[in-house]
Amino acid sequence: MPGEPNQWSWFSAFRQDYREQFGFELLLADGNGEIIHGEVVPTDCACRSLNPKRRAEAARQTLYWGETVINLCCDEGYAMWAVPVMHNDEIMASLVVQGVDLEAGGHEYSARIQKAADELLARALQANLISRAAVTLARQRADLEKNRFYALENRKNFLSEDLRGHYLREEPALLSAIKQGDTGQARAILNRVLVSIYSVGGARMELLKSCVLELIVMMSRAAVEGGADPSTLLGANFRSLSELADIEDEEELAVWVRQMLDSLISAIGSNNRYPHSILLTRAISYMHEHLGENLRREEVARHAGLSAGHLSQIMLQHMGRSFSDMLTQMRVDRSKELLRQTDLTLTTIALESGFYDQSHLNKIFRKQTGESPGNYRKRYNSPK
Amino acid sequence: MSKLEDLKTAVINGKRKDVKTIVPELLESGADPVEMLEQALIPAMSVVGERFKKNEIFVPEMLVSARAMKEAMKIIEPILIEAGVKPEFKALIGTVEGDLHDIGKNLVATMWKGAGFDVVDLGVNVSPAAFVQAIEEHSPHLVGLSALLTTTMPAMRDTVEKIRGAGHDKVKVLIGGAPVTLEFAREIGADGYASDAASAVDAAREILAS
Ligand code: B12
């Protein structure tokens, strides 16, 4: 064992075993990556004269991530991997495979390489050449880091999610303004949304275009839900939609946005096939405003000018869900927003979103999202 | 299937030899190199990333895809630069210490060159001290830092600190990489952040003008 006389005597049996199983030749290198045992298999690439430091570095990487890190050993497409040999938490040497041709390619072949690399670590662990505790710890940390990576990546898409949230909050008022023929009010609402779009997009044309497009898509959906005929709506706007790609400056974009929004406003306004939608809109916006209270179906219906039964019926018909499902969804959404954007305690958030108490919030939240509110908040706040 | 699709497939499958034939064919037929980047090469790497995330492929396959990508860039880059004008700014770029990911960084370097910047690429795993030394050697207007690992984001912070600590207050620092955000850029005192290679050009011009 490392640290004892004849400390490398195990190596030749270990190497032979590995060769028989996987067909790759192991080298034993010292702490600086200089070869102690074994010979570099001749390849027609630069890996033959690999900088010894790269071997030591490769072994350190494996220890750091808790899994064998495979990397290129030269620009010709040959790969290497290494696993450290440790004594009391100190790296004494490393087991190295280098000069593995990747060009032979293919999924099966890659799987074989991956397996051989993974097995090297597994065998080193089995032979107690490396500290199991260190590897386990590294793996746990790597898992956490991976989650952090995705949380950070998500956060970037968050801007557009915020936009969506903003629009959806304004949508009921927008739709009712349009329905009542109050175009001025409708424009004012859209302008508020556009301000947030421009503050996100700034001078970046592509980003701006994609945010604007998102607004158009959301409005078209509302128009169709409100009864506009999808084919007419799309037919009229399809050409303009495809023009968006060619728009290159802000002035052109401004003109395009105005035309598009005006035509959507009239598409939504001119249609009276489902006069219900306006009533539904009123109901939903009333629910939004009173989410924190003990909302009853009768009360909501009254404010929308409907009977309770009628409200349930059109809600199911237009939104595909019952009154209570809708209410629960809105409450969970509100709590998510508060979890992300405030430091309020879970109890306060529960009450603000209309749950009885924290445990009620916990239960419903978990049922809807598969995770606890605390965890959800952590996921969004940890990368700061 | 279009030639661009062929190119994308070749990169996804890590077929370097195919890339070597398809790219010149595309160029010959008048294809726009930027379009090749945006519609074939970058989307190809996204597919690779997705597949890796879903455990559908292994690291060796990522490595060959990365190499196929680089092969394509090698052929495209000189053409992009030809289209450019006389160097407007001088820029340094590198991936920070401990990090070996260089595809995104290379793309940014290429776009900068294409936009007429004189770019010195310091490669991967570049220590803070090496950045400072290179700044002293080349006196650039701009330094680009790339990090693809959450675990190397601290190295990014160290690098910015070292650069400022060495008294290089005028050189602008722009950072990027998949886990990097605008907030992080502000937090570590970088001058800017860009989310992709295309906006890296605009972002660079913007901070250089300010
Ligand atoms: C390809 C890849 C590799 C290749 C890299 C090949 C190469 N030569 O670059 C190889 C196989 C070597 C590799 C190795 C590893 N990888 Co890796 N890799 C990836 C992968 C799949 C894609 C990265 C990529 O090239 N994307 C395509 C380019 C075009 O996009 P980009 O890099 O984001 O760059 C764009 C922008 O970010 C921006 N940008 C980038 N840099 C800069 C700089 C500036 C100045 C600006 C302005 C903009 C900018 O512009 C670019 C162009 O639009 C990612 C997954 C992902 N979702 O990103 C994982 C990923 C980053 N890797 C990961 C890991 C864990 C590893 C390994 C530890 C795996 C292992 N066990 O072996 C090692 C670590 C090696 C090391 N120390 O660096 C994790 C990171 C997790 C974390 N905690 O951060 C990821 C997320 C995969 C995963 N799901 O686990 N990897």
Same domain membership, residue A166 and residue A87: no
Chain A: closest CA distance from residue B195 (Å): 9
Same domain membership, residue A252 and residue A154: yes
Domain boundaries, chain B: 3-83, 90-209
Task: Let me know if residue A276 belongs to a domain.
Answer: no
A148 touches chain B (CB under 8 A): yes
Task: Let me know if residue A92 belongs to a domain.
Answer: yes
Give long-range contacts, CB 8 A cutoff, 24+ apart: B80-85: B80/B33, B80/B34, B80/B110, B80/B111, B80/B113, B80/B114, B81/B113, B81/B114, B83/B33, B83/B114, B84/B113, B84/B114, B84/B115, B84/B116, B85/B116
Distance, CA of A323 to CA of A306 (rounded, Å): 13
Task: Let me know if residue A287 belongs to a domain.
Answer: no
Nearest-by-Cβ selection for B59 from A70, A103, A148: A70
Distance, CA of A223 to CA of B50 (rounded, Å): 34
Q: Is the pLDDT of residue A160 over 80?
A: no
Last residue of one domain, picked from the residues A221, A240, A269: A269
Mean pLDDT across A23-51: 86
Q: Is the pLDDT of residue A348 over 80?
A: yes
Task: Let me know if residue A195 belongs to a domain.
Answer: yes
Last residue of one domain, picked from the residues A216, A246, A269: A269
**Of A180-189, A349-358, B50-59, B161-170, the least confident:** A180-189
Residue minimizing CA distance to atom 21 of ligand 1? B49
Helix (H, G, I), strand (E, B) or coil at A198: helix
Task: Let me know if residue A141 belongs to a domain.
Answer: no
Last residue of one domain, picked from the residues A226, A254, A269: A269
Domain total in chain A: 3
Same domain membership, residue A186 and residue A111: no
Across chain A, mean pLDDT equals 83
The model's pLDDT over A104-136, given as tens digits with 9 standing for 90+, comes to 777 888 999 999 999 999 999 999 999 998 999
Same domain membership, residue A163 and residue A113: no
Are B3-83 and B90-209 equal in CATH topology?
Answer: no
Task: Let me know if residue A166 belongs to a domain.
Answer: yes
Task: Let me know if residue A191 belongs to a domain.
Answer: yes
CATH number belonging to the domain at B90-209, selected among 3.30.450.20, 3.40.50.280, 3.30.420.10, 3.30.300.20:
3.40.50.280
Which range, A232-246, A314-328, B54-68, B135-149, is most confident? B135-149
**Of A151-155, A175-179, A333-337, B34-38, the least confident:** A151-155
Nearest CA in chain A to B203: A204
pTM over 0.80: no
- B16 contacts in A (CB within 8 Å)? 77, 103
Helix (H, G, I), strand (E, B) or coil at B95: strand
Same domain membership, residue A154 and residue A126: no
- For chain A, what percent of residues have pLDDT higher than 70? 86
Nearest-by-Cβ selection for A77 from B13, B64, B198: B64
User: CATH code for B3-83?
Assistant: 1.10.1240.10
Chain B: closest CA distance from residue A237 (Å): 25
Q: Is the pLDDT of residue A274 over 50?
A: no
* Domain range for A107: 11-130
Task: Let me know if residue A292 belongs to a domain.
Answer: no
Q: Is the pLDDT of residue A2 over 70?
A: no
Same domain membership, residue A211 and residue A104: no
Q: Which pLDDT value is given to residue A384?
A: 42
Nearest-by-Cβ selection for B179 from A71, A107, A153: A153
What's the pLDDT band for A311 if we cut at 50, 70, 90? confident
